[in-house]
Amino acid sequence: MGENTLYTYHDAWDQQHINGCKCDKGYEGPGCSLFSCPFGDDPMTLSQYDEMQTIKCNATSGSFTLSFAKKTTELINWDDTALQMKAKLEALPTLAGVKVTLNKEISITQTVAGLEVTTLHGTVCHPSGQAVNVEFTQNFGDQPLMLLTVKEEIKNIGYETNETIAKICSRNASLEKYSVECGWTFMDPYIYLKETRVGTRESEICSNRGLCDPTNGICTCVMQGGVPAYDTSNGASPAAAGDAFNNRGDCGFPIISITACPGEVECSGHGLCASEATVVGGVFSLPTFRCACSVGWQGTDCSEMQCQKGKAWFDLPIADGVAHQLVECSNMGICDRTKGDCTCELGYFGGGCERMMCPGMLGKSFCNGHGRCLEMRRLAEELQGTSQAAVHADVGMQTSQSYGKTPNNPLTWDFDSMQGCHCDDGYTGYDCSLRKCKTGPDPMDRGGLGSTFETQDVNCVGQAGEWTLTFRGGGTATRDIGSREGKFTTGWLRWDATEADVKKEMEKLTAVGKVNVKFSRKLNATDAANDRFCTATAAEETNHVLIQFLDELGNLPTMKMKVRDTFHLVNNVPESDGTLLSYIVHGDGNGLSVKGTKQDHECSGRGICHRATGKCLCYSGYTSSDGRMKPGDRGDCGAVLEYDLRIMQ
């Protein structure tokens, strides 16, 4: 089977990033290490036909080419004979053999060595129209239409031509239909190609009457009653033995009377044998003694196990932008037919070699033991506010990140195949082998940009209920609220929680660090009456709960609030107190919130990160800060040493 259509593959990310082997003829496998066995027609299935394609040409000048399976003939001239055209077609490495006949030929009698020899003569084009039938005698099955390309203008002497009619008209078109649509008169020049008979003969490994040995590419033909039942054929129909001109090596010629299906037990006990004659549509057919294998089995005798399929890591597109079809071992492994197991190429794993391994040092776990190996879809979910990239991209609870969520999207075909490392806190690098250093604001960025911490404004009204705040790490398919609590989400707090309660819960979160909490209605440290989170009623002055982030810098994603009922017992039966009447979280400068503008640089931009230890090596005159440009234990280089304050001037 050949393919003549060239499909493009330009839009997907892997167009120039995943390479694979295009094997030479006679070889196969992900590394082209296996030998291909011959294909052939099953000799026991009769009343089948070879593919036929017909060229119709009305001309007395010009030339054209024919392409099959991306190989192109030399120029075929209008006055070439059938034998000349046959020779040019059979010179293609993709065509094993053809028969070329002409509709219009004349008999020419010549004397050769004293004997009169009569031959037929004709040209592939004719002034009153010629039909050239090309029969595929060695390429079995339904073949793709050859590609006809005019190289020199097709003309018919004595008749006027123009650009419109001296062209190839549609494939699969009848002359009668397109003579009108193309503006032809009866003698106008034309040339076109169409399929006139669909090939119905099988094209199967070892003609489905033998087993392939991929170590040498030789078919081992099946036995019957302890003696060989088939031998190599010449590809003819009915089947004939291989000869000096065509010796396919395909087990396509029965050498004894076939009376049973192959296998020590019919079809090896893994299929059904077609051992009975059939009548379909009034047509009587002899038994084919052909096995129909059960799911998971293959081969002429159903003795070979199939391997798990996965999306091909590398294959040819079947349409523009469409590739990565399901194949055994994902085209990245070799199937062991005795066990149905894939032996994957280095760097790939899974039952069908469908996943790429994560990096990591030999002998250690994936990601060097400092991260999790996740599929692309999982990595996209984890991006929600948990990585440094997410910080700068403003990714948070309100931003949903997904990859591969849309089914059958060719741009995200690798959502469950490609894997990468999601590093633990404090580690970085593609394999999580490097340590991260602390980040902080640049101490030399004084005033203007970089001068403010983020403050978010939370308001609520009510005298019952409980609430939580979530900062980054929103809910995803792989992370529920239980796994977020303590890292991204606070525990449940009452409507009347105090400043100290809120600060304590917020600073428990590993995604937050240190914060300042201020209730706008609380006048001083002893004002217990106004030291409650929610405003009791809408008629009262709003209590703005101002949460200032001291460790997380820059413009931060707005927190998300969740509420629920509180209950009290009445005769040991829980009775609802109710929930908060209303609530809102302001960010990005809305309400009393302040957008964070402090820059966040590794080692505060005033040192070099030592990747082996994760420690900042500060430049001269700088030291670790408290995040507010004063010396502290943050571990960055965000403070100026007092004895070097001259550099601030």
- pLDDT, residue 63, reads 93
Cα 145-233-98 angle, rounded to 5 deg: 30
**d(C-alpha 637, C-alpha 603), whole Å:** 5
Task: State pLDDT tens for residues 166-176.
Answer: 344 433 334 44
Q: Report the C-alpha gap between 352 and 342 in whole angstroms.
A: 6
Round to whole Å and give the CA distance between 528 and 499. 10
Query: What's the pLDDT at 519?
Result: 97
Q: How many residues would you count in the chain?
A: 649
Of 137-151, 344-358, 372-386, minimum mean pLDDT range: 372-386
Residues 6+ positions from 339 with CB-CB distance below 8 Å: 305
SS percent in the chain: helix, strand, coil, step 5: 10, 30, 55
Residue 554 has pLDDT above 90, yes or no: no
Q: What span, in angstroms and rounded, lies between the C-alpha atoms of 157 and 150?
A: 17
pLDDT of 567 reads: 73
pLDDT in tens, 20-40: 999 999 999 999 999 999 999
| End-to-end Cα distance, the chain | 79
User: To which residue do tokens 């008999």 refer?
Assistant: 107
In this predicted model, what pLDDT tens digit does every residue of 80-98 receive, in sequence order? Answer: 999 999 999 999 999 999 9
Q: Compare 648 and 598 and report the one with higher pLDDT.
A: 598
CA–CA distance, 54 with 102 (Å, rounded to integer): 10
Question: How many Å is the maximal CA-CA distance in the chain?
Answer: 133
Q: Is the dihedral of CA 615, 621, 626, 627 positive or negative?
A: negative
* pTM of the model as a whole: 0.74
The string of pLDDT tens digits covering residues 451-502 is 789 999 999 999 989 999 998 865 444 444 444 445 789 999 999 999 999 9
Report the pLDDT value the prediction gives residue 213, as an integer from 0 to 100: 96
Which residue in 648, 644, 593, 601 sits closest to 623, CA to CA?
A: 644
> Which of 1-5, 375-379, 443-447 is the least confident region?
1-5
Residue 502's Cβ-side half-sphere holds a number of Cα atoms within 13 Å equal to 25
